[in-house]
Structure 1
Amino acid sequence: MFHAPNVFQRAPLPPATRESEPRRQAPTATTDAPEPVANRPARSTPAKRRDAYFDNAKYLAIVLVAVAHSWVPVMDGSRTARSLYMVTYTFHMPAFIIISGYFSRSFDLSPAKVKRLVTGVAVPYVVFETAYSLFRRYANDSPGTAISLLEPWYLTWFLAALFIWRLTTPVWRNLRHPLAVSLAIAVLASFAPSIGDDLDLPRVLQFLPFFVLGLQLRPEHFQLVRRREVRMLALPLFACALLLAYWAAPRMQLGWFLRDSSAQDMGAPWWSGAVMTLALFGCAVLLTAGFLAWVPRRHMWFTVLGAGTICGYLLHGFLVKGADYAGVFDRNEWLVSPTGLVLVTLAASAGVTLLCTPPVRRVLRCVTEPDMNWAFRRDAARI
């Protein structure tokens, strides 16, 4: 920072004319006038502390995402695994999206926010969509796999969705009933196969209400779900959800939970799309509240990992798909057993935990948090 010369030195005080009536001193630069900013001593501004509760929630949610992905190759023929998958898929991504919406409340189209959106979301999307396409081409021996930034594959749909959701945040912040409007859009998307698959729009639109819900939340709402009564109610809630999922496992298509297809694409009548969209939204909100009720509030051993969830999310797909391409699940049929399911769960949890650690985050910072001041105008680069 530029420091101006210190020309505001303290001058000697003039002699008093009378002891009983001191002469009124004219304002000087060192007494009454405010000190120029350049001459003020730099005050150490403490860094903004991260909220341990939300870091814990993000880490636990990303573990559930990785675990659920690892169950896919081993849950065929296991009704219990399919039930656990259905319950987990009902709320794990909604919980992550709600938190993302909550932290997007201040987003506007200012240069600094636009720059952060591009560097923190768009650039990782381009890099990892390309990386996953190349990985699928060579690891799965699929030479016909093309690199298309308009067709997100596997995990990268979330980055494309987050870019769209956050870009439209000012719209949702100015509507009178944003959640109702977003639910109407999600319902329409559930029975509109003509939308197409560009940028995985069916999934983007059907998950949209959770992001909009996060935009509407306030700190007091999270205080409410952390009350002891809510924690106690969460236990029977999850028990009922597991029982319902166990009953529905052989009767229900998993596409309803993925939210990437219309009702007609799954061979269901169009009106069932509206019913399932609203029903799953209600179930997801309840289960998310139950999940958040049991998230620890204090600093835990895994709290620091909450800052690296983007790395865990984007990288764990290479582990899951790599094991699948290598035939690990095909050669070990015992993994479908309860013991195998537990082992797969522990391996996925450990893997995504390692991928969220600070060393991995530092290595990937050039991709997930690039500087790129050279690509932006000066007013956007100063953040």
Structure 2
Amino acid sequence: MTQTTGQLADRTGVVPSRPDAESAPAPPPPPPPARKRDAFFDNAKYLAILLVAIGHAWEPLRDGSRAVSALYIVVYSFHMPAFILISGYFSRSFDYRPDRVRRLITGIAVPYIVFEVAYSLFHRYTADDPSMPVSLLDPWYLTWFLIALFVWRITAPIWRVVRRPVPVALCVAALATTSPEIGDDLDLQRVLQFLPFFVLGLQLKPEHFQLVRRREARLLAIPVAALTVVFAYWAVTRMNMAWFFHRDSAEELGAPWWSGVLMTFALFGCSLVMTACFLAWVPGRRMWFTALGAGTLCGYLLHGFLTQGAGTWGWYDPAWLHTPQGAVFVTLFAGAVITLLCTRPVQRLFRFALEPRMEWAFRKDPVERHGK
């Protein structure tokens, strides 16, 4: 005889569940859509790293050309500030969540260790300098940016709770210029003096970038950039260009301590204006080089081996390279090399150093272990 649910409940005290829609397990939610890359920022990163490589290629040509020196000053006034500002903008969401900390380690800390060792050994053997130490505390050449980015990003949550973050960061940078005792450990002078650009990037919102992408901003950028080039040409013989490197205190540059404070604020304003001019002329649509924006760190770290080796290998010895035509050739060659180094095949080749998969080094996150 068939028993009813009520009869079964009277015997067992439990109403059996029915395989209906209400008791069936809910299907897992669909994965969130992948965030679409903004062509504007990829274009900006590629063009900024292009200028970094060109600036390094101009270095040996400065002594014989006032024009190259002037352009060198202009480029150095904004190429790294622009790159750092964008880095800060994309660090706005950084917190100490395990997956983000792991990415910080594998994407910045590990590449710093790998390339710091690689650059030190490269210089030791190509420059015949067996005394060159391998030190993780004294960044050599380009690796300063990685350790700086690590420090900036790990402090990002702090800057989000500070009431006036940019003025505070500017004061920190100004104080750094008055402190020759800071020394070279972790290249802290650069870390602190470039800090305001990263902190400013943390505060920016998409609408702020829309302001510099307006037609009026593009038109205004032309006379501003032209006047900057003229001023740089005048300043070549009157100003110490080392101020633009942000790696020394005022005293180390032979200036009184208070001049470091003034130069911090003056250079911040100058760099900010030139960064705005640069961003105003960055195209917002997809271009042939847009995809290269994802490989800028690869190009940045690899091109340093060529720029450092060029002097040792005598690449700049031919006299014709120190003519205007030679400067144009060096510019085009540097642009072609950095473009090649940012391509996907090169990224894949060096992924073991730039984006290593290190699951073995980390404990499994409980959320990931049991599924979301």
Q: CA deviation digits over 1:208-249, x for unaligned, max 9?
A: 000000000000001111000000000011001001100000
Partner SS state of residue 226, structure 2: helix
How many residues are paired up? 354
Residue in structure 1 matching 2:149, options 162, 172, 189? 162
Q: Indicate whether 1:262 and 2:246 are aligned.
A: no
Residue in structure 2 matching 1:333, options 301, 311, 319? 319
Q: CA deviation digits over 1:321-362, x for unaligned, max 9?
A: 111110111x21221211111110001100000000000111
Q: Indicate whether 1:171 and 2:158 are aligned.
A: yes
Residue in structure 2 matching 1:97, options 84, 88, 110? 84
For 1:308 and 1:174, how far apart are their aligned partners in 2? 32
Partner SS state of residue 350, structure 2: helix
Q: CA deviation digits over 1:106-137, x for unaligned, max 9?
A: 00111111111100000000000000000000
1:121-160 to structure 2, matched below 5 A, reads 121-160=108-147
Name 2:348's counterpart in structure 1: 362
One-letter code of the match for 2:335?
S
Name 1:78's counterpart in structure 2: 65
For 1:317 and 1:200, how far apart are their aligned partners in 2? 17
Residue in structure 2 matching 1:352, options 328, 332, 338? 338
For 2:127 and 2:31, how far apart are their aligned partners in 1? 53
One-letter code of the match for 1:131?
A
For 1:120 and 1:80, how far apart are their aligned partners in 2? 38
Name 2:263's counterpart in structure 1: 276
Distance change >3 Å, CA 29–CA 309, structure 1 → 2? farther
For 1:289 and 1:177, how far apart are their aligned partners in 2? 22
For 2:127 and 2:367, how far apart are their aligned partners in 1? 41
Name 1:120's counterpart in structure 2: 107
TM-score, normalisation: structure 2: 0.92
For 2:333 and 2:20, how far apart are their aligned partners in 1? 66
Distance change >3 Å, CA 71–CA 107, structure 1 → 2? same
Distance change >3 Å, CA 156–CA 253, structure 1 → 2? same
Name 2:278's counterpart in structure 1: 291
- How far residue 48 of structure 1 moved from its aligned partner, in angstroms, is 2.1
Which ranges in structure 2 are unaligned for 5 or more consecutive residues? 1-16
For 1:214 and 1:28, how far apart are their aligned partners in 2? 56
For 1:379 and 1:43, how far apart are their aligned partners in 2? 21
For 1:359 and 1:341, how far apart are their aligned partners in 2? 29
For 2:122 and 2:253, how far apart are their aligned partners in 1? 29
Q: Is the 8 A contact 1:151 1:198 kept in 2?
A: yes
Distance change >3 Å, CA 320–CA 176, structure 1 → 2? same
Name 2:10's counterpart in structure 1: none
One-letter code of the match for 2:144?
W
Partner SS state of residue 378, structure 1: coil
Distance change >3 Å, CA 28–CA 244, structure 1 → 2? farther
Q: Indicate whether 1:343 and 2:329 are aligned.
A: yes
Partner SS state of residue 132, structure 2: coil
For 1:380 and 1:119, how far apart are their aligned partners in 2? 20
Name 1:377's counterpart in structure 2: 363
Distance change >3 Å, CA 338–CA 378, structure 1 → 2? same
Q: CA deviation digits over 1:280-306, x for unaligned, max 9?
A: 100101110110111011110000100
Name 2:11's counterpart in structure 1: none
Query: Moved runs in structure 1, 4+ residues, more than 3 A?
Result: 27-31, 42-46, 380-383
Q: Is the 8 A contact 1:190 1:263 kept in 2?
A: yes
| RMSD between aligned residues | 1.8
For 1:140 and 1:218, how far apart are their aligned partners in 2? 46
One-letter code of the match for 2:25?
P
- How far residue 379 of structure 1 moved from its aligned partner, in angstroms, is 1.0
Q: CA deviation digits over 1:128-172, x for unaligned, max 9?
A: 000000000001111110100101011000000000000101110
Partner SS state of residue 345, structure 1: helix
Q: Indicate whether 1:314 and 2:301 are aligned.
A: yes
Q: Percent identity?
A: 61
Distance change >3 Å, CA 45–CA 263, structure 1 → 2? closer
Name 1:14's counterpart in structure 2: none
Name 2:25's counterpart in structure 1: 36
- How far residue 381 of structure 1 moved from its aligned partner, in angstroms, is 9.8
Distance change >3 Å, CA 244–CA 30, structure 1 → 2? farther
1:185-204 to structure 2, matched below 5 A, reads 185-204=172-191
Distance change >3 Å, CA 48–CA 144, structure 1 → 2? same
Which ranges in structure 1 are unaligned for 5 or more consecutive residues? 1-26
Residue in structure 1 matching 2:225, options 238, 250, 254? 238
Q: Is the 8 A contact 1:115 1:381 kept in 2?
A: no
Name 1:302's counterpart in structure 2: 289
Distance change >3 Å, CA 380–CA 366, structure 1 → 2? farther
One-letter code of the match for 1:271?
W
